[in-house]
Amino acid sequence: MVIKSSALQFASYLLRERVKFGSVHGVPDLLGPFHKRKEDLLKQIREISENISKSELARKLRVAKGFYSLEMAPPNNNEIMQIKNDIKLVKDFFGSGAYKQLTVKQAWLLLLVGTEIGMWFFLGETIGKMHIVGYKV
């Protein structure tokens, strides 16, 4: 929808400048056919913007925007309280010495989950810098 409004604004700006140019130089015969060309131009712009908004790429971008707005939203109060409770639970776990009672299987699973979370960070950094080694300077 932004494409439509900005394209139409740009086209109307160009048309206003053309009309100013024609009227300043005293060429009244350009104004009659120009209005027809203006309508044709606006019609073509509308058709192109409708085709763009119906394209597969536009659909994918709308879906991506939905995921982006959901995933990148700041946490609400309930989520913040849940995080505080989880942090307290981890402190209690280590403070009470309950980690000594873990089985090897449970410890291995916790290690794998921790490694996975760490790898999310490193993978995100690699994707963000668009280069495997170092940053492009």
Residues 62 and 89 in one domain: no
Could you count the other beta carbons within 10 Å of the beta carbon of residue 58? 13
Q: How many Cα atoms sit within 13 Å of 116 on the Cβ side?
A: 6
Q: Of 26, 45, 73, which residue constitutes the final position of a domain?
A: 73
Please tell me the total count of domains within the chain: 2
Residues 83 and 121 in one domain: yes
Q: Of 25, 52, 73, which residue constitutes the final position of a domain?
A: 73
Identify whether 94 is part of a domain: yes
Q: Cα–Cα distance between 65 and 59 in angstroms, integer?
A: 10
Q: Do residues 20 and 54 lie in contact, with contact meaning Cβ atoms separated by under 8 Å?
A: no
- pTM score: 0.41
Residues 47 and 82 in one domain: no
pLDDT tens-place string over residues 26-77: 444 444 555 568 888 888 888 888 888 888 888 888 888 888 887 788 889 9
Identify whether 88 is part of a domain: yes
Could you count the other beta carbons within 10 Å of the beta carbon of residue 48? 13
- Main-chain dihedrals φ then ψ at residue 54, nearest 5 degrees: -95, -5
* Residue ranges making up the domain that contains 41: 34-73
Element (H, E) at 64: helix 56-71
Identify whether 118 is part of a domain: yes
